[in-house]
Amino acid sequence: MGISIDGSMRNKVGAVGEDRIRRMILEWLIANDLVIKPSLKRDDLPEQLPGEIQLKRGVTMRFSSEPDIAFEQRSIVKATVEIKGGVDPAGTLERYGAAKKSFEHAVARSPQCRNFYIGGVLTKELQRRIAADRLVEKTYSLIDLLKDENVRSSGRKIAASQLKELNTEIQRVRHPAPSRAKLSVSKSERL
């Protein structure tokens, strides 16, 4: 019974962490004036977050169960975020397996989709499998994101450096740098 209670508590910690990450991302978007609708205030978010949020430049952010967060533009999935906050090391690979299915579906739908994995526990075997799969653009530790945010957030400051990096990468998806191939002019075109 003690093992069962321990596992349940670890999963509860994960669920709370997942909700906090969603809120941190939304707070960052609000702070950077990227949310169009619904009208939300960073300091007064509803208990139940809206399932769909319209962002600038025609981007829609969706909160759901699979993927946990998706960014779409003109029905094209630009980026997904899977948050697996459980902190029981025994379930790490199982949690990633569920996320992997979501990533595969997103890439099948939009080959240029960038996937981000936030995990409560990142074992060496998990990191090896993520690297071998090549589906995940970047992996983050849920614990580090929450810890950094708490350390840096005296009062109302926006989320931590790792969260800012994650959002910067998502922002970059929305504003990709011009391809070098398009910028280069062949020798014959110059003549």
Sign of CA dihedral 96, 99, 105, 111: negative
Mean pLDDT of 86-102: 92
Has this prediction a pTM greater than 0.85?
A: no
Given CATH 3.40.91, say whether it is the number of domain 2-176. Answer: yes
Domain assignments of the chain as residue spans, ordered by start: 2-176
Beta strand 76-84 pairing with 52-55: unpaired
What pLDDT score was predicted for residue 133?
A: 92
pLDDT, mean over the chain = 77
Give the three-class secondary structure for 79: strand
Q: Are 117 and 96 in contact (CB under 8 A)?
A: yes
* Bigger pLDDT: 153 vs 137: 137
Report the alpha-carbon distance of residue 21 to residue 118 in Å, rounded. Answer: 9
Mean pLDDT of 155-171: 48
* Bigger pLDDT: 174 vs 106: 106
What pLDDT score was predicted for residue 146?
A: 79
pLDDT digits (tens, 9 = 90+) for 15-65: 788 888 888 888 888 888 889 998 888 778 888 888 899 998 888 999 998
Does the pLDDT of residue 108 top 80, yes or no?
Answer: yes
Q: Are 42 and 28 in contact (CB under 8 A)?
A: no
What pLDDT score was predicted for residue 180?
A: 39
CA distances (Å), 130 to each of 19, 34, 163, in order?
Answer: 23, 31, 20
Does the pLDDT of residue 183 top 50, yes or no?
Answer: no
**What per-residue string of b and e applies to 119-158 under the rule 16 or more CB within 10 Å gives b?**
bbbbeeebeebbeeeebbbebbebbebbebbeeeeeeeeb
Q: Are 51 and 172 in contact (CB under 8 A)?
A: no
